[in-house]
Amino acid sequence: MSRVKRIAKELEECRQDAQSGVSLRLNNETDLTHLTGYFKGPPGTPYEKGTFQVDINIPNEYPFKPPQMKFLTKIYHPNISSVTGAICLDILKDAWTPILTLKSSLISLQSLLQSPEPSDPQDAEVAKHYISNKVGFDETAAYWTKLYASDGEKDGQAALSDSALYGIDDEIVTQFENMGFPRDKTILVLRRMGIKSFNNVTNKGETENKILEELLKECQ
Amino acid sequence: MDDHRAVRTLYSGSSDLFNMNEATIEDTIPKDRPLIAPLAPMGVLRAEYENGNQVFVQQIDWLVNNGYKGIRRTRGDGDCFYRSLAFAYVERIMNSEDVDLNVMRAISTLEATPQMLLEVGFQELVFEDFLDIFKDLITRIVQPEPGRSRLTGRVLFDTFNNAEESNSIVMYLRLLTSAQIRLAPEDFAPFLFHPEIGEPMETVSFCENFVEAVGKEADHVQMTALTRALKINVNVAYLDGHARSDGVVTVDFVKFDNATEPEEPISLLYRPGHYDILDSKDQEDLTSLDPLW
């Protein structure tokens, strides 16, 4: 009962507030427990100009238990699963307190985009990329923002290559493609091995052999 | 900060008490206990210690001999201080001689508190429902709402075992405690230490992590702040399992005297890491109009 009252108040407060840049919408007008949150990517980050959608599920024990949130918009970020959108953020887990609200949680997600915590990752692959090659990470994150989080029409945009999607140097993919390996398997293996390019590799020949071995296993 | 000084003295005489805090009683209390249990004779607690530390047994006997015949246990979920205090606070008003006066006094104290919470930056929408639940409960002692019965022991018990209502009241007391600490930083700052590592802490960080957070146990700072905000007297009996150096077994009480009018203190029982309510009765009042026990 008081949960419904509280959510209604929070929605009203969010509706009246044009400053914060976050908004909330009910998925279904008759159900106050399933919402979608929206906010803009912070300026000066690879998420700039993107609009991110977050799925919000409110448990029975709200506000004593945190709302369950996950990204609906695909996003490339160390603390957010690139596959499921699951979020690693303390206030949505054990640091939740009933003085937080849906709006303040969305604002915290916005700051998470501003300040990733690669030491406490949700997506280990993405975190590895962030730590080993920040420039490459930023490029990939910006690609994903353009591809998945843009307001504009998707069709009007230049097609992004599947290798760029994972921050992998297209040259490597082409190299193995030319040897007859399928493109998707090559990207899969390179992702699994955490190899994005040959730039920082000391022994290129040895690395190539390892990739070949994995590819042969994968394509059996 | 007389309360703190008292506790410091108590602690300095018994460094083991600190060590006992490490492995708290709370860890051994099952989580599926009711939020608040019916009143039980002290013998129930005594039986649990009979095969263990005999000083505990003697301390329990000391309490019985000094008029504390019953114990009302609370769930060991880290909210036990706030929940015990809230229950005992409402129950005492309900059982007082001048019920009308005491209800009015409590309501007027509580109605002055939202200003404190707003002042330290809590949003009204996050606390107003919690306060309404607490105030409604107290008001029902004298003024039943339409369709709802007057507050009785049974209703009070049920309300505190309803997680939503119970936790709302606990949360309000947490926010009130936090506001009191934040509004008088000079009174509390010297006593704000991280409960596990013992390092000094900033006021805001202490309040966020160890006052406002659900399930975080209260210590002397929180107890001082809350008894001040509610203007009440609370005596906490420390059951520490230690005899005095001369071998005599007694129980030390830490007193928080913050009532503005003379009044009997609420009595709580502290065992390292856990609070329960002490009572002069050893069972529920069977003459109550709706006997449930």
Confidence of residue B13 (pLDDT cuts 50, 70, 90): very low
Question: 170-189 in A: which are within 8 Å (CB) of B?
Answer: none
B206 token code pair: 């202490």
pLDDT of residue A157 exceeding 80, the answer is: no
Domain borders along chain B are: 2-289
Confidence (pTM): 0.79
pLDDT digits (tens, 9 = 90+) for B55-98: 999 999 999 999 999 999 999 999 999 999 999 999 999 999 99
pLDDT of A148 over the 90 cut: yes
B214 touching A, CB under 8 A?
Answer: yes
Greater confidence (B285 vs A128) lies with: A128
> Which range, of A57-66, B7-16, B26-35, averages the lowest pLDDT?
B7-16
pLDDT at B2: 44
Question: Which of B159, B164, B166 to probe by mutation at the A interface, max A CB count within 10 Å?
Answer: B164
Confidence at residue A127, expressed as pLDDT on a 0 to 100 scale: 94
Contacts of B121 in chain A (CB under 8 A): none
Place of tokens 């910006």: A142
B109 CB-side CA count, 13 A: 22
Instruction: Determine the pLDDT at residue A192.
Output: 80
Closest CA to A88 of A62, A107, A109, A103: A109
Indicate if the pLDDT at residue B270 is higher than 90. Answer: yes
Q: What confidence tier does B3 reach under pLDDT thresholds 50, 70, 90?
A: very low
Closest to A113 measured CA to CA, from A164, A62, A54, A154: A54
A147 sits in the region (left: phi over 0; alpha: psi -120 to 50; else beta) called: alpha
Mean pLDDT of A142-149: 94
Q: In the structure, what pLDDT confidence band is assigned to residue A10 with cuts at 50, 70 and 90? A: very high
Q: Please state the separation of Cα A214 from the chain's center in Å.
A: 27
Q: In three state form, how does the secondary structure of chain B look?
A: CHHHHHHHHHHHCCHHHHHHHHCCHHHHCCCCCCCECCCEEHHHHHHHHCCCCHHHHHHHHHHHHCCCCEEECECCCCCHHHHHHHHHHHHHHHCCCCHHHHHHHHHHHHHCHHHHHHHCCCCHHHHHHHHHHHHHHHHCCCCCCCCCCCCCHHHHHHHHHCHHHHHHHHHHHHHHHHHHHHHCHHHHHHHCECCCCCCECCHHHHHHHHCCCCCCCCCHHHHHHHHHHHCCEEEEEECCCCCCCCCCCCCEEEEEECCCCCCCCEEEEEECCEEEEEECCCCCCCCCCCCCC
In degrees, rounded to 5, the angle at the alpha carbon of residue A39 between the alpha carbons of residues A126 and A11 is 130
pLDDT at B267 over 90: yes
pLDDT digits (tens, 9 = 90+) for B89-138: 999 999 999 999 999 999 999 999 999 999 999 999 999 999 999 999 99
Note the pLDDT of residue B15: 39
* Residues in B touching A64 (Cβ below 8 Å): 163-164, 167, 171, 214
Comparing A55-59, A141-145, B23-27, B145-149, which segment has the lowest mean pLDDT?
A: B23-27
CATH class of B2-289: mainly alpha
Model ipTM over 0.90: no
Question: Quick one: tokens of B91?
Answer: 């129950």
CA atoms of A184 and B208, how far apart (whole Å): 48
Residues 109-128 of B with CB under 8 A from A: 122-123, 125-127
Contact B125 A95 (CB under 8 A): no
Q: Which helix (H) or strand (E) holds A15?
A: helix A2-16
Q: Is A88 a catalytic residue?
A: yes
pLDDT value, residue A170: 81
Cα distance between residue B70 and residue B42, in whole Å: 5
Q: Which residues pair with A77 in a beta bridge?
A: A80
Chain B residues with CB inside 8 Å of A98's CB?
A: 126, 130, 171, 214
pLDDT mean over A69-97: 94
Predicted pLDDT of residue B286: 57
For chain B, say whether A15 makes contact (Cβ under 8 Å).
no
User: Is the predicted pLDDT of residue B5 greater than 50, yes or no?
Assistant: no
In angstroms, how far is the first alpha carbon of chain B from the final one? 42
pLDDT of A220 above 90? no
Look at residue B293 and tell me whether its pLDDT is greater than 60.
no
Contact (CB<8Å) B214/A64: yes
pLDDT band for position A219 (cuts 50, 70, 90): confident
Confidence of residue B290 (pLDDT cuts 50, 70, 90): low
Token couple for B248: 């005599």
| One-letter identity of residue B186 | E
Q: How far is CA B156 from the centre of its chain?
A: 16
Is the pLDDT score of B259 beyond 90?
yes
Give the separation between CA A97 and CA B209, rounded to whole angstroms.
Answer: 10
Q: Which two tokens stand for residue B138?
A: 């107290």
- Output the pLDDT for position B199: 94
Chain A segment 53-72 residues within 8 A of B by beta carbon are 61, 63-64
Interface of B with A in 51-80 (CB under 8 A): none
Q: How far apart are CA B91 and CA B64, in angstroms?
A: 21
Mean pLDDT of A79-99: 93
Task: Please tell me which residue, A23 or B292, carries the higher pLDDT value.
Answer: A23
Residue burial B254-287, b: 16+ Cβ < 10 Å; e: rest: bebebbeeeeebbbbbbbbbbbbbbbeebebeee
Mean residue pLDDT of chain B comes to 87
| pLDDT, tens digit (0-9, with 9 covering 90-100), for A159-185 | 556 777 777 888 888 888 888 888 888
- Structure-token pair, residue A36: 């979608």
